[in-house]
Structure 1
Amino acid sequence: MTSFDAKGAAEQLLAARRTLIATERLSADRTPATIEEGYKVQNFQMEKLGALGGYKAGAAPDAVERILAPIPADAVHSSGSRLNAADYRPGWVEVEFAFRILAPITETDIIGREDLKKIAEFVPVIEILATRFSDIMALTTPEIVADLGVNGAIIVGHGSGCAIPPPLEDLKIFVDGKEFCPNFMSPADPLDTCLWLINRKQAAGSVMSAGTVITTGTIIRPLTVKGNIEARFSELYYVSAMLI
């Protein structure tokens, strides 16, 4: 039986990330068969990609279990950033509930839902999806995990120090200044998803730094956008980005 080459898979995906040339498929010995093998590929990539900026968490495409992926620090941008759309393939855009951690969390801290409300703030996020594979629709869940959750970048919006997300129905999306009516999705409880990720990282012995951003899944179906996109819940909670 051929052993799984997680390091080789990571090197192939890193090369695709660096050159912006998609890989068709990983070879059989580099293709993760399980989510845990996908996490091994993530770990090797993050050794090369450097500092951590955040995490994305959410339901797997098959909805059997949650999955997570680290987000490199250089993929985290502030609201109002201008990004080159050609750097992201397919470049679909999502709007997500996210949380910024306000105080460090160690592996020994006991964090429950009420604790989370005291040490995190809600922030809206725009995520740009990008895969290192040639066909995002053909990926299995373990391949999505190995591909760092097909994350290309996140743009982090403005919060107010409160962890409770605003009502989904308050969301308005504008593309080049014109209001756009997206197809909304029904996400899992974002606080529960955030807490799941924190507890999982604690169980692995990880320390979470203040400033870490955790996204909890999209609240709209992906959009194809070029130009300015703004997601606004209120004067307190908003995020924008320019894709050029």
Structure 2
Amino acid sequence: MPTPLAERFAATLIEAHRTNSRAPASAAAEFSASATGADVTDVQALVADELGPVTAWKTAPGADKPMIAPILGRRVKPSGATFGTDEIGACGIELEIAFRLDAPLPPLDAPDFAARLREVVTPIVTIEVVDGRVEDFVDAPAPAKLADNQNNGGLVLGGTGTIVGTSPAVRLAFDGKVVVEGPATPPGGDAWAALERFVLHVGSLCGGFQVGQVLTTGSLTGMPFIEPGTRVEGEVEGLGSVTLDYAAR
């Protein structure tokens, strides 16, 4: 059963989602001061139960196990989509490599697990939108950020294809102006390795990794923030392009 601490913070985040507002930084500090790992995942699950379904995930390297956070389906859109200021209060941009699960996962203890895992996923280029539900979310304490789905504001799904090496060429442009261009390496050094670590650790959180869901593996381009009215264009070698608009409305 979730603790009262987890239930309070989950309720705070749910209200912030519904009103497109931010809770006081003190709420994140209060939660983080005594939250356990179970409290963090309980908050993720409570928010997903109320506002889900979960249709995507995000991951990043961790000391003992990877960072894992669900992404709500209402925040996953196709390339060319628009996010408005009535949906998100800030718009950080991360160009990323992701994977769509196309068939059931192989047994985790299969001797050829890694090879079989590659056969059931499709690589995708994505843009993750970064936004949080508490004030000063970029600098919020780590437990609060992770409980708040690691500040996910949205995910835009672009082209599919083949990942070129471990450092494919990337290009990110805002209103036609190139802001990042050249080879880039995913966090942890290898998107395929990030996928494998995620699958081995996600377990049954929010229903686990299900067919049709997408996992995104971390920024190739840093996390620049953009102003309303900006068009974003991203490309990853071998995967194609992805675009979004951030609109004032």
TM-score between both structures, scaled by the size of structure 2: 0.84
5+ unaligned residues in a row in structure 2: which ranges? none
> 2:240 matched to which residue of 1?
237
Corresponding residue of 1:140: 141
- Superposed, 1:1-244 pairs within 5 Å as 4-24=4-24, 25-26=26-27, 30-31=31-32, 33-59=35-61, 65-85=65-85, 87-105=87-105, 110=110, 112-160=113-161, 162=162, 164-165=163-164, 168-181=167-180, 187-188=187-188, 189-202=190-203, 206-226=207-227, 227-234=230-237, 236-244=239-247
Work out whether residues 126 and 156 of structure 1, in 8 Å CA contact, stay in contact via their aligned partners in 2. Answer: yes
Deviation at 1:243, TM superposition (A): 1.1
Q: Compute the displacement of 1:180 (Å).
A: 2.4
Amino acid at match of 1:209: Q
Higher mean C-alpha displacement, 131-140 vs 80-89: 80-89
- Identical counterparts, % of pairs: 23
Quote the Cα distance in structure 1 between the aligned partners of 2:147 and 2:164: 29
Say whether the 8 Å CA contact 1:124–1:238 is kept in structure 2: yes
* Contact 2:22-2:133 at 8 Å conserved across structures: yes
User: Does the 8 Å CA contact 1:106/1:206 hold for their aligned counterparts?
Assistant: no
Within 2, Cα distance between the matches of 1:49 and 1:138? Answer: 25
Q: Distance in 2 between matches of 1:75 and 1:44?
A: 17
Q: Is the 8 A contact 1:122 1:159 kept in 2?
A: yes
Q: SS at 1:133's partner residue? A: coil
Q: Deviations over 1:92-149 (max 9, x none)?
A: 1111111111112377784722112111111111011111101113312111111111
| Cα pair distance change 1:28/1:122, threshold 3 Å | closer
C-alpha change, 1:73 and 1:106, in structure 2 (3 Å) is farther
Partner Cα distance (1:117, 1:106) in 2: 10
2:29–2:141 CA contact under 8 A, matched in 1:
no
Q: After the TM superposition, which parts of structure 1 deviate over 6 Å for at least 4 consecutive aligned residues? A: 106-109
| Distance verdict in 2 for CA 1:197–1:242, change over 3 Å | same
Letter in 2 for 1:71: I
Distance 1:26 1:119 in 2: 41
**C-alpha displacement of 1:34:** 3.2
What is the CA–CA distance in structure 1 between the aligned matches of 2:82 and 2:48, rounded to whole Å?
25
Give the alignment's TM-score, normalised by structure 1: 0.85
Quote the Cα distance in structure 1 between the aligned partners of 2:27 and 2:103. Answer: 39
Aligned residues: 238
Q: SS of the residue aligned with 2:160? A: coil
**Runs of at least 5 residues in structure 1 that lack an aligned partner in the other structure:** none
CA distance in structure 2 between the aligned counterparts of 1:205 and 1:89, rounded to whole angstroms = 26
Q: Tell me, in whole angstroms, the C-alpha distance in 1 between the residues paired with 2:135 and 2:99.
A: 31
Q: CA deviation at 1:190?
A: 1.3
The offset of 1:9, in angstroms, is: 1.2
Which moved further from structure 2: 71-80 or 188-197? 188-197
Rounded Cα–Cα distance in structure 2 between residues aligned with 1:151 and 1:27? 16
CA RMSD of aligned residues (A): 2.8
| Distance in 1 (alpha carbons) for counterparts of 2:198 and 2:144 | 19
Shift of 1:87: 2.8
